Amino acid sequence: MSRPLSDQERRKQISIRGIVGAENVAELKRGFNRHLHFTLVKDRNVATPRDYFFALAHTVRDHLVGRWIRTQQHYYERDPKRIYYLSLEFYMGRTLQNTMINLGLQNACDEAVYQVSRRLAASRGRGGSLASAACFLDSMATLGLAAYGYGIRYEYGIFNQKIRDGWQVEEADDWLRHGNPWEKARPEYMLPVHFYGRVEHSGTGAKWVDTQVVLALPYDTPVPGYMNNTVNTMRLWSARAPNDFNLRDFNVGDYIQAVLDRNLAENISRVLYPNDNFFEGKELRLKQEYFVVAATLQDILRRFKASKFGGTDSVRTVFDSFPDQVAIQLNDTHPAMAIPELMRIFVDIEKLPWNKAWDITKRTFAYTNHTVLPEALERWPVDLVEKLLPRHLQIIYEINQRHLDHIASLFPADVDRLRRMSLIEEGGTKRINMAHLCIVGSHAVNGVAKIHSEIVRTQVFQDFAELEPEKFQNKTNGITPRRWLLLCNPGLAELIAEKIGEDYVRDLSQLAKLHDFVDDDLFIREVAKVKQENKVKFALYLEKEYKVKINPSSMFDVHVKRIHEYKRQLMNCLHIITMYNRIKRDPTKLFVPRTVIIGGKAAPGYHMAKMIIKLINAVAQVVNNDPVVGSKLKVIFLENYRVSLAEKVIPATDLSEQISTAGTEASGTGNMKFMLNGALTIGTMDGANVEMAEEAGEENLFIFGMRVEDVAELDREGYDAQQYYDRLPELKQAVDQIKSGFFSSNEPDLFKDVVNMLFHHDRFKVFADYEAYVKCQEKVSELYLNSKAWTKMVIRNIAAAGKFSSDRTIKEYARDIWHVEPSDLKIPPPNEPREVAEDGTPNGTEARA
């Protein structure tokens, strides 16, 4: 929680964090006391931080609910085109503070809680986090789009990471154990989802019979827009076994087992599969993917069919207008089964002719690609799909046959092209290429950064792009400034508002006005002061959590993201060893002190990523305990990196590491978060780094290393790691230390797999960029010595960050893909009378879901 407001701040009525106002404060105090009373069965003096958290969360939720209902009424009456964002995972993030900011209640809450009890200072932001599409759903609500996020309500989220003796150990993330104050179960909208069974064909069409049924129970979470009273819905499905599950023919001896077997059905929503950019092909994962799309499409059809103004006998039965009323965005290939599922509904249930159903389906779906790594692309075995979803396999075969017939008519006798473009891969085990299914079944395909979209168009899906060039687009990712500036870095947010006004929160391009202050000595000092305050705060956190004394004046050099070979945490590790060796070689030489902070989770089955974590911790153990090094160099591995920890480290960062091999990172959003919060970037020309360099000027980033074309050239020539090892003495020394057991004296061969990979199997060419990386890091250190020049470059970067708002991204999706126009309409708040709808619907019309 931020510090209590000073008397002067209490008198300030309006801020980008909301109105204080005596009425607001009094109302919040009443709500807080009421909820605290209902929450507690004990004396307030012994209330825990969690008790205070839930009391405040419920108080804020009260302010949200009226706006939520009114928003849904507004959509029901005006019947706008709905946007459905389908994703198998939504990133974790704290909801309380984000909601207070978007409702304009932050300052009033701070003041109310300060007056009621100082004890909440230790509790706000703790104890409650939920799956939140933190950026895109936030922007859709802020832009007034009738949007819905759909996913799975996982009982266990991404695992909690513990570091024990330098190794990653996974623990279950039981995030719901204390309840979730933001979600609302909606059992009245529970839906059946079918699996297994067989297909019967008759004169009336195909029928999927003898299936196993799992029920999908929806839980709704409100997603508020920023200060516009719009509250959209994220609906997450939880799997439930039907009451007669396995009980139809039970005898007394089987009853207990039959009840226990209900767990098999409910396992579908039990746990989130870690995203490790590697496709495994597990049956449970395919069940999850179909479960979410089957439930979601039933929900979408129900909402589409419902009459516009609630008349009992008026429902849509004609689907010609479906693509004009419904846009479905497939976030990666995980929800790809939505395409054959919608075809099944249209053809088998609604009895539409195939061609008409296919035309509607294509015009409804759009697909976002998120990776170019071949091992990450989903390719489901035909045998598994046939067992689990027999009718869908038939539909996919039919889609493929018609698709290949079309290709053959355009390219007669080009058998190789047919093979490359088929939805079914024939070699060895027959598999369905889900990316091909998404491309064929969508009217738009986009990458998430210019360079990524170009690789998608010219390399990964070249044949498809040649066939339908107009289908392929770019939509560079963005981040929400509400969470990633106002919430996590209020000092910088207020400082910017003082200089350029508050409108930048809704229109981040206004940050360009900061260019006028690049040479303003006072502003330079204020920006540097905010950064230093954030660093001191984070240094205290690190000392408390990791028992390592941190120098807050040292450069905070931060590399936080999933641990993966292509993200090249190993190259950073080699640089740490190189810096260590330089200090040891000449302890008296001037050295710019650094605190290197690395964090991220390795997928549980990813051996090399886990070895990289162990190596980083082993190096940290040696560096941090060497008296010759002292405070010049410290290395911290952040345990259990997650959104709430990102909100602490990003505002404190001086140098952001974005060093993936050129052509491997689709976009990245961490790079944007660091830029917005006043960190400088050292990085390759990869992902969104390219556009960051375009916006800020390459001279204001520390760009190094191979470009995409250099990597391709090296692939053609053949990458030989040995030659770099032989030519670069400092690289040789660092690698030899790893190999010899210098960092693992009890087990000298511990890192032999890592060394072997670097020499013989390194697809991401760490050694090839090592020299350029180390030289670039020397330039970083040189600039850091000149605080004023460093801060001026920081200001130029913040001023250039406007493009990277998710508001801009969503506007582009809305106009180019979904064909809807964002709205700046502010829905009246619950305490103001609502205008009667155009058809005269009274104010009391019940909100629909």
Distances (CA, A) of 37 to 81, 269, 331, 610, 615: 43, 34, 43, 47, 51
Is 673 marked active-site?
Answer: yes
Cα Rg, the chain, nearest whole Å: 28
Instruction: Based on the residue annotation, tell me whether 669 is a catalytic residue of this protein.
Output: yes
User: Is 582 annotated in the active site?
Assistant: no
Q: Which amino acid is at 199?
A: V
Q: Which residues of 72-91 are buried (b: 16+ CB within 10 A; e: fewer)?
A: bbbbbbeebbbbbbbbbbbb
What torsion do the CA atoms of 373, 378, 381, 382 make, to the nearest 10 degrees?
Answer: -130
CA 388 to chain CA centroid, nearest Å: 29
Which of these is catalytic: 562, 632, 634, 642? 562
Any residues with CB less than 8 A from the CB of 248 and at least 6 apart, and which?
Answer: none
Residue-wise DSSP of 157-185 = -SPEEEEETTEEEEE---TTTT--TT-EE
Active site residue 567: yes
* Contact by Cβ (8 Å): 220, 184: yes
Catalytic, out of 35, 74, 370, 575:
370
Rounded Cα distance between 738 and 755, Å, is: 8
Output phi, psi for 656, to 5 deg. Answer: -100, 125
Structure tokens at 843: 């104010």
Which residue has tokens 């950019």?
277
Distance (Å) of CA 833 to CA 262, 318, 714:
48, 36, 67
- Strand pairing of 129-131 and 147-152? unpaired
What DSSP string runs through 350-370?
S---HHHHHHHHHHHEEEE--
Q: Identity (one letter) of the amino acid at 820?
A: V
In 522-670, DSSP assigns E strands to 555-560, 594-599, 633-638, 655-658
The answer to whether 601 and 159 are in contact (CB under 8 A) is: yes
Q: How many angstroms separate the Cα of 496 from the Cα of each of 487, 493, 503, 545?
A: 14, 5, 11, 31
Angstrom distance (rounded) from CA 716 to CA 714: 5
Tell me the residue length of the chain.
Answer: 849
For residues 589 and 570, give the distance between their C-alpha atoms in angstroms, rounded to a whole number: 26
**Structural tokens at position 99:** 């909601």
Which residues make beta-bridge pairs with 198? 209
> Hey, which residues does 235 pair with through a beta bridge?
150, 220
Residues whose CB falls within 8 Å of the CB of residue 312, separated by 6 or more in sequence, listed in order: none
Active site residue 562: yes
Q: Is 449 in a helix, a strand, or coil?
A: coil
In the DSSP assignment, the letter for residue 426 is -
Three-state SS letters, 803-829: HHEHHHHHHHHHHHHHCCCCCCCCCCC
Please give the backbone phi and psi of residue 224, each rounded to the nearest 5 degrees, phi first: -80, 140
Residues in a beta bridge with 239: 216
From the candidates 471, 561, 614, 642, which is the catalytic residue? 561
Select which of 240, 483, 531, 567 is catalytic: 567
Catalytic-role residue among 59, 333, 661, 669: 669
Clarify whether 370 is annotated catalytic.
Answer: yes
Max Cα distance, the chain (Å): 89
Catalogue the active-site residues: 370, 561-562, 567, 669, 673
